[in-house]
Structure formats: structure tokens, C-alpha cells
């Protein structure tokens, strides 16, 4: 396995551009022939022998196709673009990973353009126009928009020029197809798990009640309870800021509100950060997890859920899957297939750890 210094290819390529012409000359054929074998044409009509000679020449010269020129000539770029503020927020970066991997499989290149967070809070909630523009200049074949958290967004007009799919967000004013987590089913599976463990009095630490995550997860929780013939005691639902401190305070309120015999035996925290705070509130009172109080979270923020003590049982947001599905959907659209559904829901799997 001695590393021979026969890296002539690299040396040759370094001097600014081995082209198909060079390959053709080296192999003693026309450039067209080279193009044919490199693109594996069906009706090839190139003899095995010259095909081999050409491949040798490619190796020998270290030829590397010029993607730009190819795109120009063939009128297709093999690029998708994704506009996202996610780069800023490690939280949902798995969307990108899922999309990347899927694109890679389809031999597409994913161009990632950052979207200014600034816009996201302003009156125009749209993801950034400049990024979209840049991507269109690259002649991407399709566009993806990905948000850090599930919400409605406004998308730039120019988007209408190419197929577009939204991930973890939905078109607030149009009909663009979108991929979003099935919050309701997620809330349901969480509470079902608690019921299955024998809990009957379940406290819920809520998020801002107006966002899709809160609406869906709470509805799911109610469904699960209803099926068990139970109702959600309004006193057991407390709102919290979406932080550890918020979770701590909410948990304190919920735990101190009732005499011990009425105290909930389980807490459904609508996100993991709040669960983190709830842990402190519970431990502070000399209670154990899950012995005295079971806790279940949502989001599966690895850095928290997998490192809390005991490890947090939680419902995962399917970021990676959403990213992959987004690319698949986009591929279908660019291939001219009709839109399957305006909104595709992706399941949120329960991750069993040790807090229930």
C-alpha cells in the first residue's frame, strides 16, 4: 500500500483546466465521442475499445467535468436551493442534513442560502428575498424553505418561477405544498405513554397557546385522555415561557397548587427546555423522577434530553425525515408530477428513555 507519487493527474489538472478537448486529443477521437461516453448515452454506438481509450485518457489527464458549462449546455443545473434561517439555529439543523443526504442520493447539489433572522420578526415574516434571488441566479431547479420552528411564513413572489416546497412551515397565503410535523399525533402518543404507565392525573406545561406546536400537541393530549374516558383538568394546564426557567416556574406552580393526594403524578412538558426546568423543580421538592413524578418532553433536543439525569423520555420532531421528504417532494414536482397534498404530515416518534 505504499503511496506512490504517481499523482500526475493532479499535477496536470492544476494548470487551469483540462477540458474535454484535451481528453479527446489524448485519446485520438473527437470531443463528441468523449461527451458520449462520459454521459453514458443509450444509443451510444461507441466501440468498447475506444470507450476504454477514452476512459484511460480521462484518468491520465485527471479530467473533471465543468458543472457550470454542463448546466449551460444542457439547460439543467442539478441544483436545488434551500433558503433557511436554520444555519443560525442549531436546533433544527437536521432538516438540512436530511435534505442534503437525500439530494446527494439523487445526485443533486443542495445550495444553502442563509435567510436574515431580521426579516422573520418584522411585519414581513417572509424568508429573505435576497437569498431567493441569489439562488434563482444559480438557476436552481427547485426551492425549499425551511423554518426553525413550525409556523406560517410568507414567501417571496419570485418563488413562483420554480417548484417550491416548504419544510417545517406552511404558506400563509398561498397554496405551496409543505411538510410539517404531526403535532397532534405527537401530543397524543406522549399522553398515551403516560396513561399506559398508569398515570391518571397529568399536568401539562404549555407553550404560547397560539402557535401551531401548542395547538396541535394539546389537541392530541386531549384526544388521548378522552379515549381513556378522562378530561384535562384546566387547573393542570399552565402556560410557560419556552425556556428552562419558564418550565421551572410552571412546574412549581403546578406542584404547589394541589395537596399531595391531588398532585399530578406526571408532567407533559411541551418542549424539552421546559422539561429541564421542571426537573429542577421536582428534585428541589425532594421528589424523584420517575418514581414520584414522571416527565415527558417534546422536541428531542439531544443535548438536553440525552444528558438530563434521568434521561428524558420525549417525542422527537422528525427534522431529518422532513428534510428528506421535502427533497423527494421537490423531485416529484420538478419531474412534472402533480402535487400530492398541500400539507404532508410527518409522524413524531416517541423516544423512550428513563423519565417515565
CA distances from 343 to 205, 324, 329, 349, 356 (A): 28, 15, 11, 19, 32
264 φ, ψ (degrees, to nearest 5):
-65, 150
Question: What secondary structure letter does DSSP report for 333?
Answer: H
Of residues 72 and 226, the one with the C-beta less far from DNA:
72
CA distances from 145 to 127, 163, 317, 343 (A): 8, 11, 17, 14
Q: Which of 287, 303, 339, 341 binds its own copies (CB under 8 A)?
A: 303
Distance CA 166, CA 132 (A): 13
- Say how far residue 100 (Cα) sits from the centre of its chain: 10
Distance CA 87, CA 97 (A): 11
Number of helical (H) and strand (E) elements in the chain, helices listed first:
14, 12
- For residue 31, state whether it binds DNA (rule: CB under 7 A): yes
- For residue 36, state whether it binds DNA (rule: CB under 7 A): yes
Residue with cell 400563509: 172
Q: Which 117-146 positions form the footprint of its own copies (CB under 8 A)?
A: 133-134, 136-139
Q: Which 197-226 positions form the footprint of its own copies (CB under 8 A)?
A: none
Q: Which of 102, 164, 168, 301 binds its own copies (CB under 8 A)?
A: 301
- For residue 29, state whether it binds DNA (rule: CB under 7 A): yes
CA distances from 6 to 16, 59, 63, 134, 285 (A): 20, 12, 16, 41, 70
- For residue 7, state whether it binds DNA (rule: CB under 7 A): no
Residue 96 binding result from its own copies, DNA, none, given CB thresholds of 5 to 8 Å by partner type: its own copies
Cα distance between the two ends of the chain: 53
Q: Which of 11, 52, 72, 105 binds DNA (CB under 7 A)?
A: 72
Binding segment toward its own copies, per CB under 8 A, in 208-216, 221-229, 239-247, 347-355: 239-247
- For residue 13, state whether it binds its own copies (rule: CB under 8 A): yes
Binding mask 60-99 for its own copies (x = CB under 8 A): ----xxxxxx-xx----x---------xx-xx-xx-xx--
- For residue 47, state whether it binds DNA (rule: CB under 7 A): yes
Distance CA 346, CA 20 (A): 45
Distance CA 143, CA 130 (A): 14
Of residues 45 and 260, the one with the C-beta less far from DNA:
45
Q: Is 225 exposed, middle or buried (0-12, 13-18, 19+ CB in 10 A)?
A: buried
Binding segment toward its own copies, per CB under 8 A, in 21-29, 40-48, 238-246, 328-336: 238-246
User: Is residue 273 within 8 Å of residue 264, measured between CB atoms?
Assistant: no
Question: Cβ of residue 23: shortest distance to DNA, in angstroms?
Answer: 8
Q: Which of 8, 17, 104, 105 binds DNA (CB under 7 A)?
A: 17
Of residues 227 and 302, the one with the C-beta less far from its own copies:
302
Which residues share a beta bridge with 350?
315
CA distances from 80 to 93, 216, 241 (A): 17, 31, 37
| Chain contacts with DNA (rule: CB under 7 A) | 17, 19-21, 29-33, 35-36, 38-39, 45-47, 49-50, 65-66, 69-70, 72-75
| Chain contacts with its own copies (rule: CB under 8 A) | 7, 10, 13-14, 64-69, 71-72, 77, 87-88, 90-91, 93-94, 96-97, 100-101, 104, 109-112, 114, 133-134, 136-139, 157-158, 160-161, 243-245, 248, 273, 276-277, 280, 283, 301-304, 307-309
Amino acid at each position: 500500500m505504499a503511496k506512490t507519487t504517481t499523482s500526475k493527474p493532479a499535477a496536470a489538472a492544476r494548470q487551469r483546466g483540462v477540458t474535454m478537448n484535451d481528453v479527446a486529443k489524448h485519446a485520438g477521437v473527437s470531443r463528441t465521442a468523449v461527451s458520449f461516453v462520459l454521459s453514458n448515452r443509450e444509443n451510444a454506438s461507441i466501440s468498447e475499445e475506444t470507450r476504454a481509450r477514452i476512459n484511460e485518457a480521462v484518468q491520465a489527464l485527471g479530467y473533471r467535468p465543468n458543472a457550470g458549462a454542463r448546466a449551460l449546455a444542457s439547460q439543467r443545473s442539478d441544483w436545488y436551493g434551500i433558503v433557511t434561517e436554520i444555519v443560525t439555529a442549531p436546533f433544527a439543523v437536521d432538516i438540512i442534513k436530511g435534505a442534503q443526504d437525500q439530494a446527494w442520493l439523487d445526485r443533486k447539489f443542495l445550495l444553502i442560502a442563509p435567510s436574515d433572522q431580521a426579516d422573520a420578526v418584522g411585519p414581513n415574516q417572509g424568508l429573505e428575498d435576497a437569498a431567493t434571488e441569489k439562488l434563482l441566479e444559480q438557476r436552481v431547479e427547485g426551492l425549499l424553505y425551511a423554518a426553525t420552528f413550525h409556523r406560517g411564513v410568507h414567501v417571496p413572489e419570485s418563488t413562483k418561477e420554480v417548484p417550491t416546497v416548504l419544510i417545517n412551515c406552511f404558506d400563509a397565503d398561498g397554496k405551496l405544498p409543505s411538510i410539517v410535523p404531526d403535532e397532534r399525533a405527537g401530543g397524543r402518543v406522549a399522553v398515551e405513554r403516560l396513561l399506559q404507565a398508569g398515570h391518571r392525573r397529568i399536568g401539562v406545561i404549555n407553550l404560547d397557546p397560539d402557535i401551531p406546536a401548542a395547538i396541535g400537541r394539546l389537541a392530541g393530549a386531549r384526544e388521548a385522555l378522552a379515549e381513556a374516558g378522562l378530561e384535562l383538568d384546566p387547573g393542570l394546564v399552565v402556560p410557560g415561557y419556552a425556556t428552562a426557567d419558564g418550565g421551572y416556574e410552571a412546574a412549581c406552580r403546578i406542584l404547589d397548587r394541589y395537596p399531595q393526594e391531588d398532585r399530578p403524578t406526571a408532567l407533559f412538558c411541551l418542549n424539552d427546555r421546559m422539561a429541564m426546568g421542571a426537573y429542577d423543580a421536582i428534585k428541589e421538592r425532594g421528589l424523584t423522577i420517575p418514581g414520584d413524578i414522571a416527565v415527558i418532553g417534546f422536541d428531542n433536543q439531544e443535548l438536553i434530553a440525552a444528558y438530563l439525569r434521568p434521561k428524558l423520555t420525549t417525542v422527537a420532531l422528525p427534522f431529518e425525515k422532513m428534510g428528506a421528504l421535502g427533497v423527494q417532494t421537490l423531485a416529484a414536482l420538478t419531474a412534472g408530477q402533480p402535487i400530492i397534498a398541500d400539507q404532508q404530515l410527518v409522524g413524531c416518534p416517541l423516544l423512550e428513555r428513563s423519565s417515565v
